[in-house]
């Protein structure tokens, strides 16, 4: 009977470490985005109300809108549409951080020298491609978030 080759090798371990690093980037980006959006959810909702010129909140200051929302709809109104926002922002932030690191790595290896020698330009180009990638993937969720946040009682 032939001896089976050893399964675990340094190469396999390095691939697993690389995989776990990617998972960490995806999770940390998603969690950070979710926390940030939840923290700013009341202002996000006010922004949508003002941008869409909602009839109940037209031509009002931010403070007046906050008070009116609390009085008419309760504290939960500050977070209306936030669940959809989290569903959108988690993958957006995860994809953005992951692809930023991926583009930065690939450009460093294969990019033109004038980009790879200038760290600011490298980060700018990597960030631009990462932002575009995340936006393309999550745009339908952004439309749904706007629709849910626009609803009132």
Residues in the chain: 153
Q: What residues contact 101, with CB distance under 8 A and at least 6 apart?
A: 25
User: What pLDDT, in 10s, does the model give residues 19-64?
Assistant: 778 888 889 999 999 999 999 999 988 888 788 777 777 778 888 9
Token reading at 49: 């109300």
Q: Per-residue pLDDT for 71 more than 70?
A: yes
- pTM summary value: 0.67
Q: Are 33 and 90 in contact (CB under 8 A)?
A: yes
């Amino acid at each position: 009977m032939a001896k089976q080759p050893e399964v675990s090798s340094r190469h396999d371990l390095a691939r697993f470490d690389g995989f776990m690093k990617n998972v960490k980037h995806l999770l940390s980006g998603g969690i950070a985005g979710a926390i940030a959006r939840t923290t700013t959810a009341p202002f996000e909702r006010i922004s949508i109300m003002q941008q869409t010129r909602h009839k109940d909140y037209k031509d009002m200051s931010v403070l007046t809108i906050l008070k009116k929302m609390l009085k008419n709809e309760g504290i939960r109104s500050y977070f209306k549409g936030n669940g959809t926002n989290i569903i959108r922002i988690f993958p957006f932030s995860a994809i953005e951080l992951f692809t930023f690191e991926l583009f930065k790595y690939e450009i460093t290896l294969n990019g033109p020298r004038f980009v790879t020698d200038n760290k600011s330009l490298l980060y700018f180009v990597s960030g631009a491609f990462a932002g575009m990638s995340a936006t393309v993937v999550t745009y339908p969720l952004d439309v749904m978030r706007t629709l849910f946040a626009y609803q009132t009682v």
